């Protein structure tokens, strides 16, 4: 019996020793508490000097189920090359995976990276630095291999090692060895450096030499070891359609956001028929798993937007969470029906999704110059106690303001339900055209935005100004006198018109309608919601009139201290 016990103990010690170390293919470590276990693997077991590779640690429980939100620590226990890690720790995602980026130093050798969790489970990973790049291979593809002069194709080079794994951090040089069109050397993104997926991206624009003939350009991508690949692009006869052209811009102008962050993409169409032009937005290079958010708040892979009268079409890009902990780049492209196109590069940073999340809901997504839309931003918080985030300041802006619109406030603080409210008032710029404005809310790096259409059928009759007295009520069913002043386009007061009053949030208005007097004023009384409101809450009182088939609206905010 004693002999059997000693043999069992030796077997356990051997199992622990095997589990505590590993190579590029990974393996499961011992788990001294008998609960969570850990594996560590890399996309490649050998990298160039100063190259990089993604490391992925996976945590599972005793039942083999992924463990979410478990902190994994990363350290370099043997550092022959002078390597660095992008982070010393990361939390597991929904698949139980925590990912960081290892970047080798300049000296050839062998490094050892260790991943560990709080119960003592750990695993080591050997990475060989140097050894040459002779086994690296490159493939090259273009999103469009048939272009007219002046049109653009997106080139994607993919670099792999001898095992077929993606290679990170090597430079791809792009050239045009056969250049019949007179095209400029392709413009690489990020200096042609491959990302976590082993991909490097560049832009090629077809030239206009021999415009009456169909000609061919050969584009080549080359590695330092001499490995290369080519793609042939046909430049059609004739010139690119000139009736419409498109350019792209982003907000922020330096387009860099964490996973879940949003960027507003603005396409400006030029040409005689720019109003009503269809702009198709897509993601031909999508390393982050990004999407577009449509007007219903739904994530879509592509979206087509009709340009307004000023030729503006906007789309909302939301960065994805593929390859978390690693900086990757996506490409948004806009294409017109005549083939004119433009593209822009967006960076999804290595930062994790923001602690706060914010969503916007407008009461109206289509208004005339005489109407308003109530903009409600809802802020939630993640972490140990997820839920609505009260008392958080929200910054509201109009990054795209084609109508000359205004907001009732630049900032608003969330109430107990995590909601902050402002009023959007469209402007009268280009009054006969349909134009688009974009309202954005931001809490730190968390953002959301919605597009509001200001139609060109702007009524030219009346305006309403709503004033509460007082604008702040105590939590004791206090009253506020609401005055709606109606004026005509000349600024003169208008009497004898019926004004309807409604409330969003809580409370009541009595009467629900009133007739404007000789001063153009209609008056009602707002009573705060009994027992239903809390400090920081906001109610919205809306006044509207309908004259000659046109409806005019305005609103005011009533808050609780």
Which residues is 278 bridged to in the sheet? 306
Where would I find the beta strands (DSSP E) of 51-107?
52-60, 71-79, 84-85, 89-91, 97-103
What dihedral do alpha carbons 126, 129, 131, 137 form, nearest 10°?
Answer: 90
Nearest to 302 by CA among 329, 278, 280, 286: 280
- C-alpha count within 13 angstroms, C-beta hemisphere, residue 420: 26
Radius of gyration of the chain (CA): 30
The pLDDT value given to residue 22: 37
Which residues is 226 bridged to in the sheet? none
The pLDDT value given to residue 17: 37
How far apart are the C-alpha atoms of 402 and 432, rounded to whole Å? Answer: 13
How many other β-carbons are positioned within 10 Å of the β-carbon of residue 178?
A: 13
Instruction: Map residue 9 onto helix, strand or coil.
Output: helix
**Which secondary structure element, helix H or strand E, spans residue 10, and what is its range?**
helix 2-19
CATH superfamily entry for domain 137-239: Immunoglobulins (2.60.40.10)
Give the N- to C-terminal CA distance of the chain in Å, as an integer: 76
Do 241 and 148 form a contact (C-beta atoms < 8 A)?
yes
Do 82 and 106 form a contact (C-beta atoms < 8 A)?
yes
The pLDDT value given to residue 326: 78
| Burial class for 14, CB neighbours closer than 10 Å (0-12, 13-18, 19+) | exposed
Domain 354-458, CATH class in plain words:
mainly beta
Structure tokens at 49: 């000097």
Answer CATH for 2-129 from 3.40.1190.20, 2.60.40.10, 3.40.50.300, 3.10.20.30: 2.60.40.10
Residue located via tokens 């294409």: 335
CATH superfamily entry for domain 462-559: Immunoglobulins (2.60.40.10)
Where would I find the beta strands (DSSP E) of 223-340?
228-239, 245-251, 256-257, 262-270, 278-286, 291-293, 299-300, 303-306, 312-318, 328-335
How far apart are the C-alpha atoms of 266 and 247, rounded to whole Å? Answer: 8
The reply to whether domains 2-129 and 137-239 share a CATH topology is: yes
Residue 491 region by backbone torsions, left for phi larger than 0, else alpha for psi between -120 and 50, else beta: left
The arrangement of secondary structure in 251-347, i.e. its CATH architecture, is Sandwich (2.60)
Nearest to 462 by CA among 498, 415, 501, 506: 498
Where would I find the beta strands (DSSP E) of 435-520?
435-443, 446-454, 462-469, 479-488, 498-504, 508-510, 513-515
Residue ranges of the domains in the chain? Answer: 2-129, 137-239, 251-347, 354-458, 462-559
The pLDDT value given to residue 328: 81
Spacing of C-alpha 26 from chain mean position: 33
Structure tokens at 319: 């960065």
CB within 8 Å of 269: residues ≥ 6 apart: 244, 245, 246, 277, 279, 307, 311, 312, 313, 336
The pLDDT value given to residue 243: 74
The maximal CA–CA distance of the chain, rounded, in angstroms, is 107
Where would I find the beta strands (DSSP E) of 252-403?
256-257, 262-270, 278-286, 291-293, 299-300, 303-306, 312-318, 328-335, 341-348, 356-362, 366-367, 373-381, 387-388, 393-401
CB within 8 Å of 234: residues ≥ 6 apart: 145, 146, 147, 214, 215, 216
Spacing of C-alpha 405 from chain mean position: 24
The pLDDT value given to residue 26: 36
Nearest to 248 by CA among 296, 300, 307: 307
DSSP state of 28: B
For the chain of 561 residues, list the mean pLDDT of each consecutive stretch of 10: 43 38 38 75 74 81 84 93 87 77 82 92 87 72 86 89 83 90 87 84 88 85 84 79 80 82 90 89 89 84 90 90 80 88 85 74 89 92 68 90 92 88 91 88 85 74 89 81 88 88 88 93 86 77 89 89 75
How many other β-carbons are positioned within 10 Å of the β-carbon of residue 176?
A: 20
How far apart are the C-alpha atoms of 242 and 401, rounded to whole Å? Answer: 27
Instruction: Map residue 327 onto helix, strand or coil.
Output: coil
| Burial class for 420, CB neighbours closer than 10 Å (0-12, 13-18, 19+) | buried
């Amino acid at each position: 019996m004693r002999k059997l016990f000693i043999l069992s103990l030796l077997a356990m010690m051997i199992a622990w020793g095997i589990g505590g170390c590993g190579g590029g293919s990974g393996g499961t470590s011992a788990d001294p508490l008998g609960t969570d276990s850990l594996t560590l693997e890399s996309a490649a077991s050998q990298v160039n000097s100063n190259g990089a590779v993604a490391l992925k640690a996976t945590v599972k429980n005793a039942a083999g189920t992924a463990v979410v939100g478990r902190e994994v620590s990363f350290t370099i226990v043997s550092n022959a090359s002078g390597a660095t890690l992008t982070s010393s720790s990361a939390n597991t995602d929904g698949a139980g995976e925590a990912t960081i980026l290892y970047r080798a130093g300049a000296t050839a050798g062998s490094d050892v990276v260790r991943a560990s969790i709080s119960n003592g489970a750990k695993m080591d990973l050997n990475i060989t630095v140097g050894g040459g790049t002779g086994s690296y291979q490159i493939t090259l593809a273009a999103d469009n291999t048939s272009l007219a002069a002046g049109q653009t194709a997106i080139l994607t080079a993919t670099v792999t090692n001898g095992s077929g794994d993606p290679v990170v951090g090597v430079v791809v040089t792009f050239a045009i060895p056969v250049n019949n069109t007179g095209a400029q050397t392709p413009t690489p993104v990020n200096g042609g450096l491959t990302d976590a997926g082993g991909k490097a991206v560049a832009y090629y624009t077809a030239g206009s030499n021999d415009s009456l003939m169909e000609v061919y350009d050969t584009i080549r991508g080359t590695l330092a070891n001499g490995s290369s690949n080519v793609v042939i692009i046909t430049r059609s006869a004739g010139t690119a359609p000139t009736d419409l052209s498109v350019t792209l811009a982003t907000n922020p102008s330096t387009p860099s956001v964490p996973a879940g962050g949003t960027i507003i993409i603005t396409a400006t169409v030029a040409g005689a028929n720019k109003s009503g032009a269809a702009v198709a937005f897509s993601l031909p290079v999508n390393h982050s798993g990004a999407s577009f958010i449509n007007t219903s708040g739904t994530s879509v892979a592509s979206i087509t937007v009709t340009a307004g009268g000023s030729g503006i079409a906007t789309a909302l890009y939301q960065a994805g969470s593929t390859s978390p902990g690693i900086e990757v780049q996506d490409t948004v492209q806009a294409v017109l029906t005549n083939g004119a196109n433009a593209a822009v590069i967006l960076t999804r940073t290595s930062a994790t999704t923001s602690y706060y999340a914010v969503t916007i809901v407008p009461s109206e997504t289509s208004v005339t110059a005489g109407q308003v839309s109530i903009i409600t931003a809802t802020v939630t918080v993640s972490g140990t106690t997820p839920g609505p985030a009260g008392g958080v300041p929200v910054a509201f802006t109009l990054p795209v303001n084609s109508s000359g619109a205004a907001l009732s406030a630049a900032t608003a603080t969330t109430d107990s339900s995590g909601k902050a409210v402002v009023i959007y008032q469209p402007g009268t710029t280009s009054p006969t055209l349909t134009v688009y404005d974009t309202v954005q809310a931001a809490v730190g790096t968390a953002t959301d935005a919605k597009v509001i259409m200001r139609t060109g059928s702007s009524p030219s009759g009346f305006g309403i100004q709503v004033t509460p007295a007082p604008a702040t009520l105590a939590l004791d069913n206090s009253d506020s006198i609401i005055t709606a002043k109606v004026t005509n386009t000349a600024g003169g007061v208008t009497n004898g018109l019926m004004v309807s009053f409604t409330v969003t949030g809580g409370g009541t208005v009595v009467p629900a309608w009133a007739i404007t007097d000789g001063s153009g004023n209609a008056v009602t009384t707002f009573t705060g919601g009994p027992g239903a409101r809390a400090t920081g809450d906001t109610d919205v009182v809306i006044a509207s009139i309908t004259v000659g088939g046109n409806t005019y609206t305005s609103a005011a905010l009533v808050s609780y201290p």
